[in-house]
Amino acid sequence: MSVTPVRWHVAVPWLLSAGEKWRLTQFVPNDDAAFEFQVVPASYKHDRSRKYTGLREWQDYVRHGNEAWSAARRAARPSAIITSFPQLPIVVGMRKRLAFSKLPVVAWTFNLGQTYPGLKRRLSQAALPRIDRFIVHSRGEIAAYSEWLDIAPERFQFVPFETPVRDIELEEDRQQPFVLSMGTAQRDYKLLFAVMGELGYPTVIVAGPHAVAGLKVPPNVTVRSGLTPQQCFELTQRARLNVIPVANRTTASGQVTLLDAMMFGRPAIITSCPASVDYVTSGKDALLVRYADHDDMKANIQRLWEDEGLRTSLGAAARQTALGTFAEAVIGRTMRQILLEVGNRR
Say what the pLDDT of residue 3 is.
65
Mapped to the 3 state alphabet, what secondary structure does the chain carry?
Answer: CCCCCEEEEEECCCCCCCCCCCHHHHHCCCCCCCEEEEECCCCCCCCCCCCCCCHHHHHHHHHHHHHHHHHHHHCCCCEEEEEECCHHHHHHHHHHHHCCCCCCEEEECCCCCCCCCHHHHHHHHHHHHHCCEEEECCCHHHHHHHHHHCCCHHHEEECCCCECCCCCCCCCCCCCCCEEEECCCCECHHHHHHHHHHHCCCEEEECCHHHHCCCCCCCCEEEECCCCHHHHHHHHHHCCEEEECECCCCCCCCHHHHHHHHHCCCCEEEECCCCCCCCCCECCCEEEECCCCHHHHHHHHHHHHHCHHHHHHHHHHHHHHHHHHHEHHHHHHHHHHHHHHHHCCC
Q: How far apart are the first and last CA of the chain?
A: 20
Torsion of CA 336, 338, 342, 344, to 10 degrees: 40
Pick the CATH number of 6-161+328-343 from 3.40.47.10, 3.30.465.10, 3.40.50.300, 3.40.50.2000: 3.40.50.2000
Q: What are the domain boundaries of the chain?
A: 6-161+328-343, 179-326
With beta carbons less than 8 A apart as the criterion, state whether 50 and 85 touch: no
Strand-pair category, 105-108 with 6-11? unpaired
Per-residue pLDDT of the chain (346 residues; tens, 9 = 90+): 456 799 999 999 999 999 999 999 999 999 999 999 999 999 998 765 555 677 889 999 999 999 999 999 998 889 999 999 999 999 999 999 999 999 999 999 998 877 888 988 999 999 999 999 999 999 999 999 999 999 999 999 999 999 999 999 999 999 999 999 999 989 999 999 999 999 999 999 999 999 999 999 999 999 999 999 999 999 999 999 999 999 988 888 899 999 999 999 999 999 999 879 999 999 999 999 999 999 999 999 999 999 999 999 999 999 999 999 999 999 999 999 999 999 986 5
Say what the pLDDT of residue 1 is.
44
With beta carbons less than 8 A apart as the criterion, state whether 190 and 208 touch: no
Instruction: Confirm whether 6-161+328-343 and 179-326 share one CATH topology.
Output: yes
Buried b / exposed e across 289-305, counting CB within 10 Å, b at 16+?
Answer: bebbeeebbbebbeebb
**Total residue length of the chain:** 346
CATH superfamily of 179-326: Glycogen Phosphorylase B; (3.40.50.2000)
Alpha carbon separation from 62 to 98, 173, 186, 200, 236 (Å, rounded): 15, 46, 26, 48, 36
Say what the pLDDT of residue 247 is.
94
